[in-house]
Amino acid sequence: MQIMLSEFKALLHVLKENQIGLKVKTHTGWSTDYLQIIGFIASTSDQANKTFGGIVLSNMNETEGILINNISTINAFQLEQDYLNYQKDTIYHLTDMTLKALIIH
């Protein structure tokens, strides 16, 4: 299933508040464990716009951690548990519709 990058960024805030872990896939592969969001990376302009560019993830034992400077490097994710319309056994692939529109034209 596909999810837009902007929708994913909004979901990340909710996942952090509810302490719901997620596995993420980047160009290096999948995280080995479900990871909790422990922080967001934001430049000064990101902070002014109340957004963020990156994310910091860690498992509960703090034996695996991931620092992602650019959130768009995440290709896919999976949730640790069901949340609203998101199912735990579903792999969600990130898409940026603005990028697709530029490629098509």
Q: Which of the four pLDDT bands, split at 50, 70 and 90, describes residue 97?
A: low
* Number of domains, the chain: 1
Helix or strand run (H / E) with residue 12: helix 5-17
Average pLDDT of the residues of the chain? 85
For residue 40, give its domain range.
Answer: 2-104
Q: What is the pTM of this model?
A: 0.81
Contact present, 12 and 72 (Cβ < 8 Å): no
Considering only CA atoms, which of 55, 97, 60 is closest in space to residue 77? Answer: 55
The token pair that represents 17 in the structure block: 């508040």
